[in-house]
Amino acid sequence: MDPARNAMSWEELEILSADPIDRVNGPTNPYSSLRLFNKNNTDAVVTLYRDNHAWCPYCQKVWLWLELKKIPYQIKKVTMRCYGQKERWYLKKVPSGMLPAIQFQNHVITESDEILFVLEEIYGPLGQSLNEHKVLNYRRLERELFSSWCNWLCSNSFLTMQEEVKKENFKKVAQRLEKELQKNTSGWLTPISTTSGDRPGSADVIFIPYIERMNASLAYYKGYSLREEHPFIDIWLTNLERLNEYRGTQGDFHTHVHDLPPQMGGCYTNQNIRQQNFAEKIDTGIGLGNLELANLQADENSEQKFKAIVLERVIKHKEKIIEVNPIPNKLFDQSLRAALTTMVSNQSCTPEKMSASGIRYLRDRISVPRDMPLLSARLFRQALERTASLDGIELGTKIPITNRLDQNPIQFK
């Protein structure tokens, strides 16, 4: 049987795809160049400069603050050095190349905390000010948690005892955070009361980016489940996942564990049965289920929505996706359609022979949230792996660990 007969055409797939979202006034999303929240264009007097891939945790902090405050702003995206050459126009504006930055009334401000101080002066704080005594203590705790995580993840342990000491140090700091989270019935550190319930405040935003990355990296490299070991952090993450503002900025485990090494200077694995199981599930696209995302488990209706988003995003960029794939274009065009057919039909669709490596190359380079939401990516990765397995066991080009030039955004401009 000719496998091409099984795969739906691009025209057939497009019928099932989602309509593009309202990037300007709709839910938080990584595609926007302008956010207005139903206000006027003239209100967008702040410009946020952030990274193309939404990998930068410091960019995410400022991004979330603006979204939670509903401040109209413009967005310009810049290449991080780990995945390509930084744009000259940005280096003229910010010679250090540092991200994030904002521009307000011809003034350029860098460093995420300094940016938030300026935004507080212009628009008022997100609940409690970052300079309030209580929030200052939380900011110090966040840096302690960050340091204990870095020490465990990014420095090699030559003895089992060294590994255990680092692990216990991290656990102790995380337990201190849990004690603080228990002080408010809302589960937030600095809750903001609204008519629709309590919302996260300034201190919560400070913690979000790196706890998200700790959750992914410790599972993959250490076999440590942050959500299971720390139930109050789990509640806090679950509350976050109910918010459109957070979900629009959230990365998935696969993206984080492979974008972190060049950013952090390396991540060290502590091999054990649980770590190997977690790593395999993350790498093959199965994911870690509730440990990765406790909310929004896809039922049949929501699955169709997330699959439709995959189709919309892939069809929009299909020529470039096919062009940059390492296997011949003709082979990959059919194989990509086969994977999408598998995804929407829940029935296996045979790809062209000798295409497994190209299918897995794409599986490994879906970037969340840059390309699509977390649940969409989970469904797409699973369909890609299911399709590749029909052809063979060949892997795609290995993901580099000293840079991510394989993700150079210039290919998609």
Q: What is the pLDDT of residues 260-319, one digit of tens each?
A: 999 999 999 999 999 999 999 999 999 999 999 987 665 667 899 999 999 999 999 999
Mean pLDDT within 173-180: 98
Whether residues 286 and 302 fall in one domain:
no
Last residue of a domain, one of 63, 90, 123: 123
Q: Are strands 101-104 and 34-35 parallel, antiparallel or unpaired?
A: unpaired
> Same domain for 351 and 335?
yes
Q: What is the pLDDT of residue 2?
A: 46
CB 335 within 8 A of CB 355: yes
Residues 212 and 152 in one domain: yes
Return the pLDDT at 411: 62
Task: Verify that 146 and 231 share a domain, yes or no.
Answer: yes
407-412: average pLDDT: 71
The reply to whether 160 falls in a domain is yes
Q: Confirm whether 91 is domain-assigned.
A: yes
Q: Indicate whether 271 and 310 sit together in one domain.
A: no
- CATH number for the domain including 143? 1.20.1050.10
Q: Which two tokens mark 160?
A: 């089992």
pLDDT band per the 50, 70, 90 thresholds, residue 387: very high
- Which pLDDT band holds residue 412 (cuts at 50, 70, 90)? low
**% of the chain at pLDDT higher than 90:** 91
Residue 39 domain-assigned (yes or no): no
* SS3 of 368-409: CCCCCCHHHHHHHHHHHHHHHHCCCCCCCCCCCCCCCHHHCH
- Tell me if 394 is assigned to some domain: yes
Query: Residue 100: is the preceding peptide bond cis (ω within 30°)?
Result: yes
Q: Would you state the torsion angle of the CA atoms of residues 329, 333, 335, 336, taken in this order, to the nearest 10 degrees?
A: 120
Same domain for 283 and 302?
A: no
Residues 354 and 233 in one domain: no
Assign 4 a pLDDT band (cuts: 50, 70, 90).
Answer: very low
> Best-predicted range by mean pLDDT among 5-14, 83-92, 130-139?
130-139
Write down the pLDDT at residue 241: 95
Which CATH number do you get for residue 117? 3.40.30.10
For strands 34-35 and 192-194, give the pairing.
unpaired
What is the domain count for the chain? 3
CA dihedral of 146, 148, 153, 155, whole degrees rounded to 10: 120
Give the end of a domain, one of 237, 268, 291: 291
State pLDDT tens for residues 28-74.
999 999 999 999 999 999 999 999 999 999 999 999 999 999 999 99
Neighbours of 37 (CB within 10 A): 16
Asked if residue 322 is part of any domain, the answer here is yes
Kindly tell me if the per-residue pLDDT of 409 is higher than 90.
Answer: no
Same domain membership, residue 115 and residue 168: no
Axis-axis angle for helices 202-222, 160-181 (nearest 10)? 150
pLDDT tens column, 218-240 = 999 999 999 999 999 999 999 99
Whether the bond into 369 is cis, omega within 30 of 0: yes
pLDDT of residue 196: 85
Do residues 242 and 353 both lie within one domain? no
Task: State the pTM of this model.
Answer: 0.94
Decide if 60 contacts 249 (C-beta within 8 A): yes
- pLDDT at position 84 is 85
On whether both 258 and 365 belong to a single domain, the answer is no
Q: For position 302, what pLDDT does the model report? A: 85
The last residue of a domain, from among 291, 311, 335: 291
Of the chain, the percentage scoring pLDDT greater than 70 comes to 97
Has residue 316 been placed in a domain?
A: yes
Given a cut of 70, whether residue 3 has pLDDT beyond it is no
Is the domain of 77 the same as that of 10? no
| Identity at 116, one-letter amino acid code | L
Domain that holds residue 266: 133-291
Q: What average pLDDT does range 309-334 have in this prediction? A: 95
Q: What is the average pLDDT score of the chain?
A: 94
Q: Determine, yes or no, domain membership for 378.
A: yes
Residues 141 and 282 in one domain: yes
Does residue 117 fall inside a structural domain? yes
